[in-house]
Chain A
Amino acid sequence: MSAEFWAAALTALWTGVITSVSPCPLATNLAALTYISGHSGSHRLAVLAHGGLYALGRALAYAVIGFLLVKSLLSAPSFSFFMQKYGGQALSPILVLAGMYMLGMLGRGFAGFNFFDPSKFKVKAGALSSLFMGVIFALVFCPVSAALYFGVIIPLAARNAAPFSLPLLYGLGTALPVIGTAVALDLGLKRLSAVTGLAGKFERYARPATGWVFVAAGVYLGLRDIFGIV
């Protein structure tokens, strides 16, 4: 690997971090953060594992899109504007319904959003939900993520003949601030539990808190991208 490739790899990772800390993806970042943090205490490494899966989901989504774009199987301008316009719009009702499900608003018999059920993380089958969430959230392009991904990462990937690896690193970068915050929160909560003896308290409130954050994020995206109010 040449020095130029390593420089490009570092640029891709750092651009991902920059994207993630900009104000626009805040709604989805907060939803992901509460969702991942909701597993604090369920297992020693649960937060890290689900953070990793979330990052992998984001990375895979960007890598697949990057590959299709660099191989000219997709038109960057039309795909970018389509995803910016409809990504947030489509996610809004999904987030509200998923949040309502977590809060038990959809009735006891309703099982359509089991995929978003944090309690399922305690069994192996639920692990896919973090990966799935990463893929979905990556597809919601904000103006800043679209500008940096399509304007910086894709040309960089094409120039370095790395249509898969550089978008993949960008995707990992976009997840790093969320994972870092979730892990720090997890360590803090564990320490707090050890000191105060309130182990298990957080878990009891994690599910409704995640549900409310999902509802809030969904309503915010709807007001912004569908109704144009905020």
Chain B
Amino acid sequence: MDRAETPRGRGPRIAAGIAIVGLVAHFGLTIMHVGPISPLSQQLAPVTNAWINPFFNQNWELFAPDPVNTDMGLLVQARGPDVADEEAWVDISTPLLERKLHNPLPDHLHYVVTGSAHNFVAARQEIIDHPSVADQFPEAEPFAAALPQDVLAAAPEDLRGAYDFTLDSLMSTAARSWSEQMGQEPTEVKIRLVTHTFPRWSERADPGIGEVVYSDLPWSSVATVGADS
């Protein structure tokens, strides 16, 4: 053990020195990447992005700055020669949540539906909040669930891409869940986003369920879902 505790020769010591510099640089850039925007992080952004992406990409805003505090559900209407009831709104979220209820080892399936819905709503909100859109539509009424073309046109291309991508994924997810649940093949689906704001802290003892808001996306053909990527 005595021999093992003796510092090694010059080579390993130089290697250790280089590695320490590397560690400082790597975690410096990591902190620039995960932290809030600062003059330094903006200045270093090109280097940070090149180094961090894709393998060191990370996000630690876990339940922050505020935790998720609304539930999002999906109701789906379907059309097609195989569809028995074209008027029925089918709840595709509740069965997935019920699989998870009282289950200590749940599978990930419920994430597919809620995650797709949250991603779409987030991509939509990012467009609405973008300065170029906010400048052009300052006093606008609340937009429809599917953003109007002129609003989309005002947004930068990457945000539009993310919006289309998340919308496509939401549509195909809804169509698959509907078809799995009903055992029928739809050719068109229509999604109703259900945003449930459960009672806030001060109303926590209320027997009511809080506030529910519905917003509908237009009919979308299942055949074209995801095809125009």
> Do A and B truly interact?
no
